[in-house]
Amino acid sequence: MKSKFLVVALAGALVAAPAHAEDLQQVQQLISTRQCSGCQLTRAGLVYANLQGADLSGANLVQANLTHANLSGANLQGANLAGAVLYGANLIGADLRGANLSGADIRDAYVSGINLEGANLQGAVLMGAIDIPAQYVSAEDYYRWGLMEDQRGNSNGAISYYNQAIALKSDFAHAYLARAASRLRLRDMTGAIADAQLANEYYLAQNNEQGHQMATRFTEGVQAAQEAANERPRRGGGGNFLGFLSGLASLAVRFLLPF
């Protein structure tokens, strides 16, 4: 019984071998000629590969690892890049019209001048991508990325994303309140109060009672903290003061997270 199973297993391996060899051959073809239209490159390891100007139109690059690859000016029209890793890749001027980028990791990639007309970006991770064309990212995207940076403890990074969210949507109350929380973590109480007050104005205009209450509570809390800061040199209690600020910022972010 065992020998029969072994024969079947070996037969299966032999059948599969040519396909694997063909994939390797196509990877070598791509590296040497940069001409691989329609190639089968599923799960190919192309980390740091120099594929500038390569023709990969219609290629199957499902789950391929293209981390930090140079794909500037590459032709990827109609390519299947579902689940591919393009982290930190150079995609400047790349042609991805009609490409499938569903679930692709495009974080920190350089995408200036990229053509994504008709591309499927469902589930693609674009956080940190540099020079994303405005039509492919929303104020809500920037806002969510800001919350993610805040949770990582990167307040400056969070503020940068909130700034971009507000630039696209000037009455984005949640973004103002989130930026207020990040500014508070950086001990910028004046900026935190200004943002919270703006958030409150927009919450009221949008009939968002919960937002109004949260922004009011936040503003009053920071103002109380400022008064306490003036008393601190005489009365001490620095640890409690810092803990209060951190708790207030966390409270605001918890309110915003379900967004």
Give this prediction's pTM.
Answer: 0.76
Residue 225's CATH number: 1.25.40.10
Domain-located, residue 244? yes
Q: Which residues contact 96 (CB under 8 A, 6 or more apart)?
A: 76, 77, 79, 81, 114, 115, 116, 119
- Distance, CA of 51 to CA of 76 (rounded, Å): 11
Q: Are residues 147 and 129 in the same domain?
A: no
The residue segments making up the domain with residue 248 are: 139-256
Count other Cβ atoms within 10 Å, centred on residue 132. Answer: 20
Q: How many domains are contained in the chain?
A: 2
Q: Are residues 95 and 130 in the same domain?
A: yes
Asked if residues 164 and 142 have their Cβ atoms less than 8 Å apart, the reply is yes
Chosen domain end from 137, 171, 198: 137
Q: Are residues 143 and 133 in the same domain?
A: no
Q: Are residues 143 and 251 in the same domain?
A: yes
The values of phi and psi at residue 94, to 5°, are -70, 145
Q: Which residues contact 69 (CB under 8 A, 6 or more apart)?
A: 46, 47, 48, 49, 50, 51, 86, 89, 90
Q: Are residues 40 and 133 in the same domain?
A: yes
Domain-located, residue 167? yes
Domain-located, residue 196? yes
Two structure tokens written together for 204: 């009221």
Asked if residues 39 and 56 have their Cβ atoms less than 8 Å apart, the reply is yes
Q: Are residues 133 and 143 in the same domain?
A: no
Domain-located, residue 13? no
Q: Is 91 helix (H, G, I), strand (E, B) or coil?
A: coil
The values of phi and psi at residue 78, to 5°, are 70, 10
**pLDDT tens digits, the chain, 259 residues: what are they?**
444 333 333 333 333 333 344 489 999 999 999 999 999 999 999 999 999 999 999 999 999 999 999 999 999 999 999 999 999 999 999 999 999 999 999 999 999 999 999 999 999 999 999 999 888 899 999 999 999 999 999 999 999 999 999 999 999 999 999 999 999 999 999 999 999 999 999 999 999 999 999 999 999 999 988 887 777 655 555 555 566 667 777 777 788 876 5
Chosen domain end from 117, 137, 157: 137
Domain-located, residue 4? no
- Distance, CA of 33 to CA of 198 (rounded, Å): 57
Domain-located, residue 26? no
